[in-house]
A and B are shown apart, each in its own frame.
Chain A
Amino acid sequence: MAPFAGSGANPLRDPADRRLPRIAGPSGLVIFGVTGDLSRKKLMPAVYDLANRGLLPPGFSLVGFARREWQHEDFAAEVHDAVKEHARTPFREEVWQQLIQGMRFVQGTFDDDDAFERLRGTIEELDKAQGTGGNFAFYLSVPPRSFPVVIQQLKKHGLADQSSGSWRRAVIEKPFGHDLKSAEELNKVVHEVFAPDQVFRIDHYLGKETVQNILALRFANTMFEPIWNRSFVDHIQITMAEDIGIGGRAGYYDGIGAARDVIQNHLLQLMALMAMEEPASFDADALAAEKTKVLGAVRLPKDLGLATVRGQYAAGWQGGEKAVGYLQEEGIDAKSKTDTYAAIKLEVDNRRWAGVPFYLRTGKRLGRRVTEIAVVFQRAPHSPFDHTATEELGKNAIVIRVQPDEGVTVRFGSKVPGTSMEIRDVSMDFAYGESFTESSPEAYERLILDVLLGDSNLFPRTEEVELSWQILDPIEQYWDKNGKPAQYQSGTWGPVEADEMLERDGRSWRRP
């Protein structure tokens, strides 16, 4: 007879039974700002995909909160359309029937007390009707300035109070402030109402399979870790490029810029995962401890003028389409100094990485949409081949392609067939799509499920957010006082100043 796990535990659950998926317990999700783009394109489809994969509990409830004058049915119809258009998995009527039972809509503005009372009523009704057990996550898909209002309202109406045996969680999206001071204020506001371990900060990059694979690549294998240090690595480049401009987000983007928008969260998180020491275990505390340690060891170069570059896209042709420059975009001040491209050089002061530069760059209207991490190795200390044989040989590299075309490439030299000895770079390629599932789960699916399960592995913590601002703040302050952004033509790989920055170190950017 199979042994039962402790009294009160579910006898049908067995850790050895790995076919049974991790299903979230009884719970519901409340989305503020449910009419927004993120909600329609990512959150609602992710909820459906989770349900379709059988990962949501029976009775899972989805509550939308927005200003729009909708009835429950209008909301359901909106979700239906969003799911049909954006869901990853095929639409199945029976899954929809399961979901629709728990869908509610609450109409109101964020300062409307009545609306929050109605929300509380809805949640209590769902506890009875759907058996959600008082477990609710509040997803704040709202502009940063509304954060404090919503959080305070949740507190005022007792929505954040956990009774025994149930939980209330807050999910917040970037930006987590715009500098260290504002981040600390935001954290104060949120933590006043929700306990730190019930606050989930979404960095959707961390939900990506390839990013989680960094940990597997480094710590589950033996062949990479021994060379993952200053003795072998020459430098590391982390790139996140977008081919689009700011689109209609002028109001949000101007004054924020690429560095705050991308480097502070995504790129520094990627860097932390690449550079951190092996965590004692794969639980949230151990991971956070290692990430915090390495972010704390990051050091800025002395002369920020030589080690950072910012730029603005100028008019040009991007992939066959004519693109206007940043300063000509609608709603942008012609004198704006906001950066749409940022490249910075960082160093990590520890035994493993001393002297190895980390180059981080991001930008809009670049050559193509790509995110990748390249570990570039040193040249062989001695080559038995003569100079002409290795003329075409570059440095060895391991490239982790985060998106699109997720995978890992290893570049190394190989002999060109023929009578003479000639060595040239070749690539060895591992593509996720080739070796694993054709469509791996969307980042939001994973992250929403983790929120419902209370698993905070893939969410940056307060300390990490504050450390990241500590790294970025001096750069932003330097930029405020000195010079202005360099102009680069849309559709190219950034300003020449960025190329010069690497040239000074005797290196060059990889073309991603």
Chain B
Amino acid sequence: MKIDLTDTTASKINKALVQGRRAIGTPAVGMVLTLVIVTDEENAYDALKAANDASHEHPSRTLVVIKRVSRTPRDRTQSRLDAEVRVGADAGTGETVVLRLYGEVADHAQSVVLPLLLPDAPVVVWWPVNAPLDPANDPLGALAQRRVTDTYAAEQPVRELSARADTYTPGDTDLSWTRITPWRSMLAAALDQVTCEVEAVEVEGEEFNPSCELLAMWLADRLDVPVKRSLSGGPGLTAVRMATDTGQIVLDRADGSLATLSIQGQPDRAVALKRRETAELIAEELRRLDPDDTYASALRFGVDRLNPSVPEAAAEPDVAPKGEEAVVEVATKAVEATAPEAEAQAPVNDAAKRAKSTATKAAAK
């Protein structure tokens, strides 16, 4: 059932929730977490749909925070909270409250959300779009154990990845990272099949897809070998090629669903690697609420240290330290470049050089 509340307060919403629950006759609450979705009107529908699907696996109270844009100065001085309370069949397996914030209250969303959190249960905040630069210090993010961003939806995904690395706080996670779990799991399984030493890796995928960078950084971090990121038409990630001392291992997915795993000396095998829906990603994200150290480690490896060109970087010991912003900008340019690989190579090397200085700085911190 649905209860509409106009110009309301958190305590009235709480009353409506109790009233709704009584009305449908299920006073027992088995909800395991509160999911706060911070979004705009445009993305609210899709995000809520994904959350409702995920709630079949993780029954939760879903709070959708929609900040409305005020178009006139008069609107801005007025502040109003509207709420739509959904319980029962309308709300997946939990409860949903859609909150629309107008005017000044939009800047104080945490005051509305705080009283509506489930007692004791963990809180997850998810920004499908427009995630704050420092999620842990965002007023809403500060309420949560887990903060889910999605760099895939950013205007400049790779630059955003670097920003995420700078502000990483345990509990942060990103859907671009979630998207590559099947790839990571298949690559790990491939290395289970052969005993070998990996020497170099190439990760190929479409442009503006931060998952490719994250996968590349994870591989570089774990394997300690040079990793090259190259571009293709997609969809999504298309291939990972690992050069090893016993031959090549290639995981190639051209069509976005069925991949081929080729290991030197063994026949090719088809493996299922379907691109997953947002609901599945959110469900995976909610499965574990402890800090994801592997993500942190991969993220902090740094985008700029991908595509190393070993001899050149070694020959340039004296690079003057520059501001971190500059590094990010160059690195972003490097991957953004639509030019063929050969042309893109120059700025990449440049970035690699500067990366070293960032790394030294980070170590000094």
Contacts and interface: CB of A to CB of B under 8 A. Distances in A.
Is chain B a partner of chain A in the same complex?
Answer: yes
Interface of A: 1-2, 4, 8, 10-14, 16-21, 23, 25-26, 51-52, 54, 57-59, 92-95, 97-98, 101, 128-131, 133, 429-431, 434-438
A98 B267 contact: no
18 contacts: A10-B188, A12-B188, A12-B219, A17-B184, A17-B293, A19-B292, A20-B188, A21-B185, A54-B186, A58-B193, A58-B271, A97-B258, A128-B267, A131-B263, A434-B59, A434-B93, A436-B58, A438-B57
Contacts of A97: 258, 270, 272
B30 interface: yes
A12 B187 contact: yes
Nearest to A431: B30
Interface string B27-45: 0101110000000000000
Contacts of B193: 26, 57-59, 131, 133
Nearest to B287: A19
Contacts of B189: 23, 57-58
Contacts of A57: 189, 192-193
A92 B272 contact: yes
Contact of A129 (B56, B261, B267, B292): B267
A54 B182 contact: yes
B217 to A, nearest CB: 12
Contacts of A130: 267, 269
- State the majority secondary structure of interface residues on A: loop
Nearest to B225: A11
Interface in B173-192: 178, 181-182, 184-192
B361 interface: no
A438 B271 CA distance: 26
Interface residues of B, number: 47
Nearest to A165: B195
A438 B32 contact: no
Interface in B145-189: 178, 181-182, 184-189
B272 A13 contact: no
A438 to B, nearest CB: 4
A254 B47 CA distance: 57
B57 A437 contact: yes
Contacts of A10: 188, 191-192
Contacts of A54: 182, 185-186, 272
Nearest to B290: A18
B258 A98 contact: yes
B121 to A, nearest CB: 10
Interface in B341-355: none
Contacts of A13: 188, 191-192
B224 interface: yes
A23 B223 CA distance: 20
B269 A98 contact: yes
A14 B191 CA distance: 13
Interface string B261-302: 101001101111110000000001000100011100100000
| List of 3 A-B pairs having minimum Cβ-Cβ separation, nearest first | A434-B30, A94-B258, A17-B294
Given A12-B188, A14-B222, A94-B274, 5 more contacts: A19-B178, A25-B192, A52-B272, A54-B272, A101-B269
Q: Which one of B270, B284, B288 has the highest number of Cβ atoms from chain A below 10 Å of its Cβ?
A: B270
Contacts of B294: 14, 16-17, 19
Q: Which one of A52, A92, A93, A94 has the highest number of Cβ atoms from chain B below 10 Å of its Cβ?
A: A94
B274 A429 contact: no
Contacts of A25: 192
A466 to B, nearest CB: 37
Given A12-B223, A26-B193, A133-B193, A19 B269 contact: no
Given A8-B195, A133-B193, A437-B57, A19 B274 contact: no
Nearest to B173: A19
Q: Which one of A26, A58, A95 has the highest number of Cβ atoms from chain B below 10 Å of its Cβ?
A: A58
B82 interface: no
A16 B198 CA distance: 21
B338 interface: no
A437 B59 CA distance: 8
Q: Which one of B193, B267, B274 has the highest number of Cβ atoms from chain A below 10 Å of its Cβ?
A: B193
A83 to B, nearest CB: 14
B77 interface: no
B223 A11 contact: yes
B248 to A, nearest CB: 15
A435 B269 CA distance: 38
